[in-house]
Structure 1
Amino acid sequence: MPSPSQIPISSYEVAGRFAGRLALFYGMAFGLVGTYLPFFPLWLQAVGIAPSWIGLIIAVPSLTRFTLLPIITSLAERTRSLRGAMIAAALATFAGFTLLGTLQQPVAVLIVFALTCCAWTPLVPLADGYALKGVVRYGLNYGPLRLWGSAAFVVGALGCGLLADLIAADRLIWVIAAMAALGALASFGLQRLDEPPSHAQASPFRASALLRDSRFLAIIGAAALIQSSHAAYYIFASIAWQGAGLDGTTIAGLWTLGVIAEIVVFALSPRFTLSPVLMMLFGGLAAVLRWVVTAQDPALPLLAGVQLLHGLSFGLTQVGTMMLMVRHVPPQVTASAQGYLTAAAGMVMCGASIGTGAIYGRIGLGVYFGMAAMAGLGTIVVWLARRKLETHHPGAQPQSAASGG
């Protein structure tokens, strides 16, 4: 038998292996997003699909996020096959993008892309649910795991900028498919974490009960409002900056500044002594400040400084949200909870995107005042629920499990 001194070392090795493999999967999953966002619309246009069809096709992921996605995450958890669901989803995503590369008719592309999104959009919520199970089991920190996704997104986006001049537009789909293939390969390295049947029987808590829990509803409602307040930024920032005379390199630099700030927050999050409630409050307030300043059309130096607030408005809000999920969500339903969170965020983001599209054409940068109002509303939700959120759900884990302390 191993001596007691050997047991912690073995445990650290298992935890380290889990963290490394999950970080690799996060990297591949977000690297796929980083190649999809700039390349997919260009590919659609290059194969002759009309703008009206492009708009319809691009809207499909938003639809699947709040329709099929919660069903898939709940099913994976009920059948105790979270890792298997991630592998199946990654393989189906790769197959879907590969098949898309052989198509050119808009109806066929729409149908195949819709089926692909049924597998693709649950990937990150499944990964987040899987990550939180590992956070609880191994005493890890969410932020350092998640930062690799952000880093890979930057690499993917910057790589696209270089490849776009080297690859014909009608071949760009194969870059996306290649990233999906890497994600599928990385999924096979994930460790098994699903609870045994005895645990599920001993813990009869149903995921649907979360939707009757005011604390959980406050978490996902506030997170959806604060994160969706980035809608105008995601859609119109580059357009507005280009209209203000900024060149492509400067625009890319501004985007990169925001993501770097996000990565720094994720990396340093284990050292934070703030409660998750305060993290969400500061994240929401940072978003309010960010959008109010952005609405004033600030000069480039101030704009660059404002971009650094992305680390708080997005990154700190995300870390606080995940820590609150650990605090208030029983471990056996974390993937289902992620499905509900993503569905809520998808609905709010969809509405915000439609609204900003109508408003931006009329008042331009004034649309950011609306985003500030959304972030402010999310912050108010956290403030009003703060007393309930500072207590633990009886079936969840102590906060130390989330923070690694």
Structure 2
Amino acid sequence: MKEGRKPVRVAMLGRGTVGAQVMRLLDSQADDLAARVGAPIELAGVAVRRPNRHPDVPSHLLTTDAEALVRSDVDIVVEVVGGIEPVRGLLVTALRSGKSVVTANKALLAEHAADLFAAAESAGADLYFEAAVAGAIPLVRPLRESLAGDRINRVMGIVNGTTNFILSAMDATGASYAETLDEAARLGYAEADPTADVDGYDAASKAAILASIAFHTRVTAADVYREGIAAVTPADIAAAKTLGRTIKLLAICERIHDSVAVRVHPAMIPRTHPLASVGGAYNAVFVEADAAGSLMFYGQGAGGAPTASAVLGDLVAVARNKVSGGRGPGESSYAELSVQPIAQVNTRYHVSLDVADRAGVLSSVASVFADHDVSIAAVSQQGRGTDASLVIVTHSAPDEALRSTVDKVAGMPSVHEVASVMRVEGE
């Protein structure tokens, strides 16, 4: 680092769990970061709602006027607040004025990435967001940069630690969803309001970001088919075990000819699949590319320190660009592929039925599958007195055909209940 190099001045929006860790790392690693960047990184201010809640922060750094801080003489804005407004407006203001942005805001990017990239392009600023997907796992930058010369065909993985903790615990203990959700909250893995996690919204936002990068196409959260895990029962878990499978909430982004399909839902996967062994609150993502083949990224997908690590990585990259006069990659949406609705996506189903245990029931159910052009891969039946449990695993077929089949079967007099319907992946 050259002596007397002008500091790179940073404004930070928010100082929660992640923001506090970012500040700690900026302080404890100041000399190393300066050497890596080629200039000191100077924290110019921190915008918070209630300054009195941050007694450990020097008072001259704290402000409640986020807009004034963004408009001040800073080079980079680091955003760790979350939410859509007023954050969107603040970041657009920063980018249009030539200030680069580092953000961990997955919901904002999943809905308004086009606005942010346009603002960055207009002023030649950087927009980096590694921390928005999978915490500490380096995933966004490999997709944007390392694999920029390859064709990515599929991205599939576990991108939400809360739901993975719950499903892993259900698999290990046989406990119910409600019981394991309570345990996740007690251990700090689930928020007081876990809706964003357990209903799949968090994973859907991340899937939209990953699909946008991987397929050079604008994909928003509204384009992502989404199911949560609240309907997963101990019986589903037990059925998966019987078949040598486990259940995970998966984000799946696929290129299908001249379109893309993006979905988030629980699915059975073989216990031999690498994702099956990803337990607790960890994340893991598979990327399948033409030349690179299959790649797997694994690590801590959330938490203050892991997420701060990703934020700092982006901050160093953006600061280097500032010092050298360079610029990182912008938006790549040239492909403009259409987004395929879930009804047209080919998938496999595991269907569990409670039926009358009498002759002809299996054949009549199978005929409904045949009438809808859904091929049966495997079937098993176990009697329980006058009733029976009938389990059918299908071959791949359009989701719409599978749904129609299940709806038709549910109305048959010999079928008492459709106990569960679960997609099957990874085979």
TM-score, normalised relative to structure 1: 0.26
Comparing both structures, which one devotes a greater share of its residues to helix?
Answer: 1
**Higher relative contact order (Cα pairs below 8 Å, separated by 6+ residues):** 1
TM-score, normalised relative to structure 2: 0.25
The structure with the larger Rg is 2
